[in-house]
Amino acid sequence: MNDFRTGRSLTRAGHTWYCQTPGIRWETAPDGWQLFLTDGPSWHLMGLGEHIGVEESLCTTRLKQAMDEAAEEIAKRAARATA
């Protein structure tokens, strides 16, 4: 991703999320995972790079709660991939 910046970040549940678009988009790293605030309004977890095509509604408007739930979903997917 060309516009990846690491200027603002939050670490939750073992993942560091970097602010891409203030208030609506956070990413773990280029080609990793993205949290995107939809018009719903709710946060969605979307896969990038090797995780492309993954999209999961986290059913919350709270950013830190979304980050915690995203970490659980990422861990589940990693466990399935190694099983």
- Domain residue limits, the chain: 9-82
Q: What is the pLDDT of residue 22?
A: 76
Q: What is the pLDDT of residue 4?
A: 57
Q: What is the pLDDT of residue 3?
A: 56
Q: What is the pLDDT of residue 2?
A: 46
pLDDT in tens, 2-53: 455 556 888 899 898 988 777 789 998 767 899 999 988 899 999 998 888 8
pLDDT in tens, 41-71: 899 999 998 888 889 999 999 999 999 999 9
- Residue 35's contacts (CB-CB under 8 Å, 6 or more residues apart) are 17, 25, 26, 27, 43, 44, 45, 46, 58, 63, 66, 67, 70
